[in-house]
Each structure stands twice: as C-alpha cells, then as structure tokens.
Structure 1
Amino acid sequence: MSKIPVYFMPGLAASPAIFERIALPEAEFEVVLLEWEIPLDHESLEAYAKRISRRIVHPDPVLIGVSFGGILVQEISKFVAARKVIIISSVKCNTEFPRRFKVAKATKAYKLIPMDLLINVEKLAKFSFGSKINQRLKLYEKFLSVRDKRYLEWAVENVILWERCEADPNVIHIHGDADEVFPIKYISNPIVVKGGTHIMILNKYKWLNENLPKIIKA
C-alpha cells in the first residue's frame, strides 16, 4: 500500500519546527514540511502560492496549513490537485476575519505595525508584559524562522487583504474554541477542539495526533 503524502505549511513567519509534536503513523503517511520563502518584489499571494506549489512533487497530496499557512494552502490548491485541504487555526474566507482585521483593512493600520520590533523578539522580551505573554514570546523566539522585514510586511498585508469572500465547502477546518486571533464566533462549520488556542498545533498535539489520521482518511 502506498503512503499518503501529507504536506504541512507553518503559520506566518514560523518554522516547520512547529510541527515537531505532530506524529502521523509512518506506515501510512509520508510527511513533507514546507517552509516560507522570501516573496519577490510586488509578488501577489496567488503568484507566491504558484511558486511554492512547485515544491509539491507527489500526486494527490493532502495539504495542511496553520494560520496564514492555512490561507496559503487554499491558494496552492488552485495549482495542485489535492486529495484534501485541511486548515488549522485559520480562516476559509475573509468573512471569517474578526472585526479588527476589517478595521485594519479599511484604515490601512496594518502598515503601522513596527516590523523591526517583531523581528527582534529578544528586544521585545526585555519589556515585562507578565508571565503569560513572556512565555508566548519565548515560543515565538523558538519558532520564528523568517526574520525578514520585507517578508513580514508582505505576509501581514496579504492576510489583511485576502480577497476570498466565499468559503470552499471542501476545505476541512479544525479550530480551537479559545482561538484569540480568529475567534470561533466568526468561523463557520469547523471541527472544534475544546480549549484550543491559536497555538494549539503545539499544545493540543495529542488531539491532532489522534484525529488527523482519521480526518485524512475519511
């Protein structure tokens, strides 16, 4: 029996190390970890997705994306005949964005984000935000692999300005009911993970390891 190829795309600026706790049975699945590349000048999200899609070499793959990676795998599926598209802690269309994303789009407030500070997590960690946020910053420091200002500006803009306004009914959406980035009240028809936050790929890995094989093969 041939293995099912499963391609994983991490979240915005994250390294494939965010999938270190995900373990699919090796006898059934061949796992491939995708990475972010620096966008070309004025590259559209669609053109970027087409470029990344060239790294998908297996026929009939499963595409799994987290957060912005979930948006990207949906765009990649325009160029790759995927067996399944699964998104985790993400959105299926721009109507699932929270209000603050819509305000950011209307006001272009996303252009004011201090990208230099985001890149330098160590500098950010010197400010005392309380233990919960400092703990989160330590995670960011570990898993943030793309510290390129041009990439970050491109990525944030392409999330906020994502044009898809209708959900693809074939996309399988796994979402935590405690997601603070994309609150579940805006999400339609997800598979709900109780207590799952936006980083549940790291702390709800047991649920994912138990359920992803069944979801893929269903």
Structure 2
Amino acid sequence: MPGMAANCEIFENIKLNDSKYNLHFIEWLEPEKKESLEHYSKRIALMIKEKNPILIGVSFGGIIVQEVAKIIPVEKVIIISSVKDPSEFPVRIQWAKKWGLYHFFPTSYVTLIENITKKIVSSKKIHQRIDMYKKYLSVRSKNYLDWAFKNIILWENKNPVQNVYHLHGTKDHIFPAKRIKNADFLENGTHVMVLINARWINKKLLEILENNHEENV
C-alpha cells in the first residue's frame, strides 16, 4: 500500500524472488462522504483475496495496513517510513490534532502551487522534483486529500496489532526518527527511501520474509 497521494509506481524498484513471492499492489480508493478510517480499511480489506497475506505499507499506507490487520488474519505487517502509534507523530501533527488544524489545510491548492512554482523558479532541481511528485503523487482529488490529512492527524490506533516490522530512515522529515521506537533504521534514509534506497529495502524485506529478522513490537 503506497503512501498518501502516491500511486503504486513508488514500488517500481522493489524486487523479490518471483518464484516464492507474488506482489499485489493496492491503489487508493476514493473515500466516501464522512467515511471513517475503520470503514475505509474494511473496503481495502475486501480487495485482498489471498489468505494470511504479508501486508506492506509506506507512510499513511503503513497506517492503513495496520488497520487492515485488525480486520483479516495476516502473516506479517511491515511498515516503511511510517508510524506504529500516535506517540511517534511529530509535535506539529499532535498540535494539529489538538487544535483541529486539518480543517484549514489548503489541499485544493496543491496542484496550483506546483504549477506556479515551476513557472517562477528556474532551478532545474526544483523542476525535476516537481515532475517526480507528479509521477508518483497522482492521487490528488480534494475529497481524498482532505480525508487523508484528517485521518492521519486523528489516528488513535486503538487495539494495536503486535509484531509490526518497521523500516525507517534517520533523516525522515515527515516522521522524525527521534520519535520512532523499535525500528530498523537506515542511516541518512529519507521519507522517500522506498524509491531511492530500494536495495536496502529489498535486503531488509528478504530478512523479514525469511524470518531472519528480530521482531519489533
């Protein structure tokens, strides 16, 4: 399951042994009006046909797979660049929850800001980064973005699942490593390490899948 607003192309560099593992990718559904995270996760669970699957989620997708694991039997849950508990959120998200600030995030202006920035900023690096965002962050409906921001900020993780395997970067700017507990850390890994550090991710996934990895709780 990809991260918020991302499509499954973010997994293009994730390679496992095809003779042993079948990869199935879950794209985001459009949220229903005032849909709860629990109900949304039930709809995602209905898309999973395999018995006792191994669920892997990135960022907000990591939150979703933890919720799905409360609904269906799973073999393992692996999260990447995500959180296991609201206590791992940065202070800014905790404040946003306290003050209800998710109501004021201008999600409808995300695409407009990108286009304006690209026109007025001549930096080639900035243009490349915006083009990358457009390729991988293609889920952009205002309804979805409003719903996603709200449900990340309000997530409480009641009755958390156990033995969650957590891969995280020490330079993650969304979920800072200093607040993350019981994870396998990649030195200098960022929030997009699933894309740019796929070799390390693949190695760690293999260790987890082959049960040669210490469990994180």
TM-score, length-scaled by structure 1 = 0.90
2:136 is the alignment partner of 1:143:
yes
Amino acid paired to 1:188: K
1:155 pairs, out of 148, 159, 169, with 148
Provide closer, same or farther for how the CA distance between residues 135 and 109 of structure 1 changes in structure 2, counting only shifts above 3 A.
Answer: farther
Provide closer, same or farther for how the CA distance between residues 41 and 129 of structure 1 changes in structure 2, counting only shifts above 3 A.
Answer: farther
Q: Could you say what the CA RMSD is over the residues aligned between the two structures, in angstroms?
A: 1.8
After superposition, what is the alpha-carbon deviation per residue over 1:115-171, rounded to whole angstroms, capped at 9, x for unaligned?
122144434433439665544322211111212100000000000000126754411
Q: How many residue pairs end up in the alignment?
A: 210
1:75 alignment counterpart? 67
2:77 alignment counterpart? 85
Confirm or deny: 8 A CA contact 2:55 2:74 kept in the other structure: yes
User: Deviation at 1:110?
Assistant: 2.2
Kindly report which structure 2 residues correspond to 1:19-168, keeping only aligned pairs within 5 A, or say none. Answer: 19-120=11-112, 121-128=114-121, 133-164=126-157, 168=161
Provide closer, same or farther for how the CA distance between residues 74 and 216 of structure 1 changes in structure 2, counting only shifts above 3 A.
Answer: same
Amino acid paired to 2:22: E
Distance 1:153 1:108 in 2: 13
Which piece of structure 1 moves more, 200-209 or 101-110?
A: 101-110
1:13 alignment counterpart? 5
Provide closer, same or farther for how the CA distance between residues 199 and 119 of structure 1 changes in structure 2, counting only shifts above 3 A.
Answer: same
SS across alignment from 1:25: coil
Confirm or deny: 8 A CA contact 2:7 2:139 kept in the other structure: yes
1:196 alignment counterpart? 189
After superposition, what is the alpha-carbon deviation per residue over 1:13-64, rounded to whole angstroms, capped at 9, x for unaligned?
1000000111111011000000001011111000000011011111110000
User: Deviation at 1:114?
Assistant: 1.4
Distance 2:151 2:184 in 1: 25
Structure 2, gaps ≥5 residues long: 212-217
Structure 1, gaps ≥5 residues long: 1-8
Confirm or deny: 8 A CA contact 1:53 1:76 kept in the other structure: yes
